[in-house]
Structure 1
Amino acid sequence: MNVLPLIALVLGSLAVAWVCRRREVAPTLVLVVVGIAVSFIPGVPDFRIEPEVVLLLVLTPLLYSAALDSSYLGFRANIRAIGLLAVGLVVFTTAAVGLVAWWLVPGLPLPAALVLGAVVAPPDAVAAVAVGRRLGLPRRVMTILAGESLVNDATALTLFRVAVAAAAGAGVSLMSGVGMFLLAGVGGAAIGLGVGWVVHRVRVRLADPPIESALGLAVPFAVYIIAEEAHTSGLLAVVATGLYLGHKAPETGYATRLQDEAVWRASDTVLESVVFALIGLQLTSVVRELSGGSGYGAAGPLLLVGLALTAVAVLARVAWVYPATYLPRLVSKKLRRRDPLPNWRTPAVISWAGMRGVVSLAAAFAITPGVPYREALIFLAFVVTVATLMLHGMTLPWVIRRLGVRGEESAADALAEAQAQHEAGRAAVARLDELGQDPGVAQRTVDKLRYMAQMRTNSSWERLGRSAEEAGESPAAAHRRLRREMVAAEREVFIQHRDEGRIDDEVLRRVLRELDLEEAMLSRDD
C-alpha cells in the first residue's frame, strides 16, 4: 500500500490551514479551492471518498468531539429550534431539491431525485460555527447552528437510506419509511445515552487518566458500530454519547480533562483540514466518472442543473427558517412571553449558514449502482456542495458584519463568573481556615494560599471594570505577566541543566509539566 499520497494530503492540508490561520482567513474555502487546483496536476492520485471510511473514521470523531464541546443544557433549552432545523428543514430541503431535480432532469425517476435531495439536504456547520465564533455571534445562534450540525446528518442519512431503497425498487411504503426513520432516531439516541452512562461510570472508577483518555478515544467508534449493527442511526448515537459525557466531564479528574481537550483539538484540526481538501480533490474523479458512465451525459449540461439546485437549496433554507422562527411564537402566547420575537437579522444569519460538506459527498458516493442516473446524481451533489461552500464561505462573514448580529454575553458572563468566583473564593478560604487549624501547617503557607485565592477573586472582578487601555494594568494582570516571565526564566535554566548533563530528561519533563500547567493557568485571561 502506497501511503505517501495520504501523508502528502495530511501535511499539505495542515500547511494550508496554518497559513490561513496566520492570515486570519477561514481555511475551509481555501482548502477546497486548493484541492480543486491540485486535482488538475498530472500524476496526482485519485483521492476517492469511500463512504464507510468517511462516516466511521472522519465524521464520527468530528461529531463526537463537537458534542463533547457542546452544552447539553443549551441544547435542551433550544431543542425546538434545533429540531426544526435538523429534522424539519432537512425533510423540506429533501423534498424541494428532489422535486426540482425530477422536473429539470429528463427521465430521472422521482425516488432517485429524492435520493439527491437527501444527499444535499444537511448543511455542514463546521465552517459557519468557526466564522460565527470569530465574529462574535450571539451564543444562542451558535448553539442552534452547532446543534443543527450535530443532528441533521443523522436525519439526512436516514432519509437517504429510505430513498435509495425506494429508487432501487425495494418497494418501501410511506409507513415503512416513517418507521425506519423513527427507529433510527429514537433507537440511536437511546443506545448513545446508554453507552454514555456506562462509559462515564467506568471512567470515574478507573482513576487512571491515560486509560480514561484511551477509552474516550475508542468510544465514538464503538458506539457508532453498535448502533449501526442495531439498524439505528450511528451518528445520532455518537452525538447522544458525546453530549452526555461532555455534560459529565466535570466529574472526571483534571488530568483526564486536559488530555481529552488536547487530543480532540489536534484530531479536529487534522480531520477538518483533510476533509475540505478532499472535497476539492474530488472534481476530476467525479467528472471522469460522469463522462465514462451511463449517466445523464457530459458534465457541461448538468452544471447548469447543479447551479439551479444550489439556488433551490439556498432558498429552501431561507423559506424555512423565517416561518419556523416566527410562526410558533405568533401561534402560542405562552411561547411568545417566554421567548419574544427575535429581530429579523438573527434568522437572516441562520438562513445564510447553509454550506454543505463532506457528508453530502460521502452519501453521494454511497449511492448503490442500482439507482438510476447514479453518476449524474454524484456530479450534481458535488456541484451543490462546492457551490454552497463558495457562496456562503465568501459572503457569510460580510452578512454577519453588515447586519451587525453580535453577542452581548461578554459583560453578563464576566459578572456571573465574578459572582461565582467570589463565592468559590469564600468557600476555599473557609476550607483553608479549617485545615489551617492543624498544628503541622505553617501559618506562612496559609497566608500565601489566602493571598492567591484573593488574587483569583480580584482578577474576576477586574474584568468588569474599564479596559486595560483605559485603566492601565491591574494588579492581577501585573502578577500574571511577571509570573510568566519568571516561569520562562525557570524553564531556560532547567533546559540548560539538561543540555549540560546535570539533570536527566525525565526530571526535565516532570518539571516542564508543572511549569506548563502554571503558565496555562496564568495565560487564561489573556
Structure 2
Amino acid sequence: MTGKILAIAVGDQGQFAQLVTVLIILLLVATIVALLSRRLRVPYVTGLVLAGVAIAEFLPRKVGLDSALIINLFLPILLFEAAINTDISRLRSTLKPILLLAGPGVLIAVGITAIGLKFGLALEWIPALLVGVILAITDTVSVIAVFKEVEVPSKLITIVEGESLFNDGIALVLFSLVLKFNSTGSLALTDGIRELVVVIVGGLAVGLVLGYLGVELYLQSEDDPLSSILLTVAIALSAFQLGQFLHVSGVVAVVIAGLMLGNLERSRKVSASSRITVLSFWEYAGFGVNTFIFLLIGLELRLDTLGRILPAVLLAVLAYQIGRMLAVYPLLALVGVFDRPIPLKWQHVLFLGNIKGSLSMALVLSLPSSIPGRESLIAIVFGSVLLSLVVQGVGLPFIVQRLKLAHRSEVQEWVEGLQSQLMTAKAAQDELDTLLKSGVLPKSVYEELRSSYQIKVAAAERSLRDFYNRRSEKSTVLTFQASRFDAVKRRLLLAEKNALNDALRKRILSEEVVKGRLKAIDEQLLKVEDD
C-alpha cells in the first residue's frame, strides 16, 4: 500500500516537474518574442501566437487552453485591469460612440455574421448565432500595441478601449441568452429583451455594491499597499463569481467595480505609494495574462487542420468583417447628428482594428457538446483568430501609419525642426562637458567646439521665443501655439509627478508631503485641455 502511494506521489511530482519546465520554456520564449517583435516592428501578441505554433511539437508536455481557467480567472483579471486604468472623465466625453458600437453595433455584427454563416456554410441558426457572437468580440490588446508605436489622438485610444470594455459585456450576455434558448428550446423576443435587461442591470447592481464596499475597505487599507492589492484581486474575482452565482452578468459587475476603484485612484483620496503599487501590479498582471493566453493560442492551433477548413474560415472572416463594417460606418455617421462627428480616418481604424483574441477562443471551447458540429465550430473560430492576429495584426501598424491620424502642419514641422536643433546642440554640449571633466579634451578645444554649438542653441532659442511670443491673427498658428503649450505643460507636470514618485520610493520625501503635492499637480493637469 505504501509503495503504491509513493509511486503515485512520484508520478505527480514528475508531472509537476514537467509543467514547471514547460512554464520556464514559455517564459523564455515570451522574452525572446518581446525582443524580436520590437526589433522587427511586429505586434507582440502576433509574435506570441506564431511562436506558440512553432514550439508546440517540441514541448515535453502538451499544454492547451482551458476555457474554465480563462473565463473564471483570466477574463476577470483582464477586465478589471482595463477598467481600473480607464479614466471616467475621458470615457464620459466619448460615451456616445462607445455605447453605439458596444450596443447596436454588436447586435448588427452578430446578425450579419450569423446570416453569412447560416447561408454560406449551411449551419443551423443556433451554431451560426453562437459563432456570430464569438466573432463579434474585439480584442483591444493588439490595437493598443500599435498605438504605442504610431502617434494617434488620445480620444481615439479612449474609444477603442471603452468599446472593447463594454463590447465584451454585451457579447457575453448575448452568448448566455443564445445558450439558454438552445437548452430550453424557446425564448420569446420580449422574454429575451427582459432577460437581457435583468442580466445587465443585475450585473450593474452587483458591481456597484462590491465596488462601494471595495472603496470603503480600500480607504481603510491605504497605508498597506500589499493589502490593497489583495483587496482589488478579491473584488475582481468575487464580482465575477457572484454575478455568475446570481445569474446576472459577472462581466458587467467586474467592469463597474473596476471603474469605481479606478475612479478612487484618480480622486487622490488614497496614498501615493498605495496607488503606485496597485496600478503597477495590475499592469504586470494584465501583461502576464495576455502573454500566456496568446502563447497558449499558438500552442492550440494546428496548421494542418486550418488547411482543410480554410474556405470555411475565409467565409467566416468575410462575414464578420462585413458585419463590423455595417456596424461602424453607419452608426458613427449618426454620431455627427447629436455629438462631435468621428473623423472618417478614425472609423477606418475602428473597422480594421477588429482583431480577434483570447476571449473568442475561450468561448468557443466552452460550447456544450450538445451544439451541432461543435468541433467544426471550434476549428472555424481558431482559424479566424489566427488569420485575424497574423494578417490584421501585422498589417494594422502600416495602415495606421499611412492614415496619418495625427495631423502635422507645416508650422508644426518647422517648430519641431527648431526643437531638434536645440536638443541635439544641448546634448552635444553636455557630452563636451563630460569630455572636459574626464580630461579627454583640452580646455581650448572644448571652448571652441562649445561656442559653435552655442550659436546653434541661441539661434534656435531666439526663433522659438519669437514664435511663442508672436500674437498672430491666424487661427492655425494660435491653435498650434495653444496645443503646443498644453503639451509642454502636461509634460512638465508629469515630470514633476515622476520626480515625486521616485523620491517617495527612495524614502527621500515623506508620504504626507508627496500626497499633498501630487494632489495639487493633478488639479493642474485637469485644467490642461486634452486633445
Query: Structure 1 residue 167 and structure 2 residue 182: aligned?
Result: yes
In structure 1, how many angstroms separate the alpha carbons of the residues matched to 2:416 and 2:235?
41
Query: Structure 1 residue 13 and structure 2 residue 44: aligned?
Result: no
1:307 CA drift (Å): 0.8
Deviations 1:234-256 (A, max 9, x none): 11211111111111112110110
In structure 2, how many angstroms separate the alpha carbons of the residues matched to 1:382 and 1:517?
53
Q: Which residue of 1 aligns with 2:352?
A: 352
Partner of residue 470 from structure 1, selected from 422, 446, 469: 422
After superposition, the Cα gap between the structure-2 partners of 1:13 and 1:464, relative to the gap in structure 1 and judged at 3 Å, is closer
Q: Is the 8 A contact 2:228 2:278 kept in 1?
A: no
In structure 1, how many angstroms separate the alpha carbons of the residues matched to 2:239 and 2:304?
32
1:466 CA drift (Å): 6.2
Q: Which residue of 2 aligns with 1:123?
A: 138
The amino acid that maps onto 1:16 is V
Q: Which residue of 2 aligns with 1:366?
A: 366
Q: Which residue of 2 aligns with 1:439?
A: none
1:213 CA drift (Å): 2.4
Q: Which residue of 2 aligns with 1:445?
A: none
Deviations 1:416-440 (A, max 9, x none): xxxxxxxxxxxxxxxxxxxxxxxxx
Gap regions ≥5 residues in structure 1? 288-298, 413-462, 483-509, 522-526
Partner of residue 323 from structure 2, selected from 316, 321, 346: 316
Query: Structure 1 residue 219 and structure 2 residue 235: aligned?
Result: yes
In structure 2, how many angstroms separate the alpha carbons of the residues matched to 1:389 and 1:185?
30
After superposition, the Cα gap between the structure-2 partners of 1:242 and 1:150, relative to the gap in structure 1 and judged at 3 Å, is same
Write the mapping of 1:29-108 to structure 2, written as runs, cut at 5 A. 29-39=46-56, 41=57, 45-106=61-122, 108=123
After superposition, the Cα gap between the structure-2 partners of 1:66 and 1:197, relative to the gap in structure 1 and judged at 3 Å, is same
Q: Which runs of 4+ in 1 moved over 4 A?
A: 463-466, 471-475, 515-518
* SS at 1:70 equivalent: coil
Q: Is the 8 A contact 2:207 2:252 kept in 1?
A: yes
The amino acid that maps onto 2:193 is V
1:204 CA drift (Å): 1.2
After superposition, the Cα gap between the structure-2 partners of 1:202 and 1:389, relative to the gap in structure 1 and judged at 3 Å, is same
In structure 2, how many angstroms separate the alpha carbons of the residues matched to 1:471 and 1:6?
45
Q: Is the 8 A contact 1:72 1:244 kept in 2?
A: no
Partner of residue 260 from structure 1, selected from 278, 282, 285: 278
After superposition, the Cα gap between the structure-2 partners of 1:133 and 1:112, relative to the gap in structure 1 and judged at 3 Å, is same
After superposition, the Cα gap between the structure-2 partners of 1:215 and 1:374, relative to the gap in structure 1 and judged at 3 Å, is same
Write the mapping of 1:185-224 to structure 2, written as runs, cut at 5 A. 185-206=200-221, 207-224=223-240
Say which is worse superposed, 65-74 or 364-373, in terms of deviation.
65-74
* SS at 1:45 equivalent: coil
Q: Is the 8 A contact 1:63 1:238 kept in 2?
A: yes
After superposition, the Cα gap between the structure-2 partners of 1:517 and 1:192, relative to the gap in structure 1 and judged at 3 Å, is same
1:16 CA drift (Å): 1.8
TM-score (norm 2): 0.72
Q: Is the 8 A contact 1:133 1:142 kept in 2?
A: no
After superposition, the Cα gap between the structure-2 partners of 1:301 and 1:16, relative to the gap in structure 1 and judged at 3 Å, is closer
Gap regions ≥5 residues in structure 2? 1-14, 435-502, 512-516, 518-531
Say which is worse superposed, 209-218 or 57-66, in terms of deviation.
209-218
Q: Is the 8 A contact 2:106 2:327 kept in 1?
A: no
In structure 2, how many angstroms separate the alpha carbons of the residues matched to 1:241 and 1:323?
32
Percent identity (aligned): 25
State the Cα RMSD in Å: 3.3
Partner of residue 276 from structure 1, selected from 291, 294, 299: 294
After superposition, the Cα gap between the structure-2 partners of 1:7 and 1:474, relative to the gap in structure 1 and judged at 3 Å, is same
Q: Is the 8 A contact 2:80 2:255 kept in 1?
A: yes
1:314 CA drift (Å): 1.6
Q: Is the 8 A contact 1:72 1:247 kept in 2?
A: yes
TM-score (norm 1): 0.73
Deviations 1:93-117 (A, max 9, x none): 21111111111223x3111211111
* SS at 1:123 equivalent: coil
After superposition, the Cα gap between the structure-2 partners of 1:140 and 1:300, relative to the gap in structure 1 and judged at 3 Å, is same
In structure 1, how many angstroms separate the alpha carbons of the residues matched to 2:396 and 2:154?
17
Q: Is the 8 A contact 2:29 2:51 kept in 1?
A: no
Q: Is the 8 A contact 2:112 2:322 kept in 1?
A: no
1:306 CA drift (Å): 1.2
* SS at 1:467 equivalent: helix
In structure 1, how many angstroms separate the alpha carbons of the residues matched to 2:234 and 2:282?
12
Q: Which residue of 1 aligns with 2:490?
A: none
After superposition, the Cα gap between the structure-2 partners of 1:236 and 1:512, relative to the gap in structure 1 and judged at 3 Å, is closer
* SS at 2:90 equivalent: helix
1:189 CA drift (Å): 2.0
After superposition, the Cα gap between the structure-2 partners of 1:342 and 1:213, relative to the gap in structure 1 and judged at 3 Å, is closer
After superposition, the Cα gap between the structure-2 partners of 1:210 and 1:308, relative to the gap in structure 1 and judged at 3 Å, is same
Deviations 1:131-187 (A, max 9, x none): 123212111110010001111112111111222233345323322222222222222
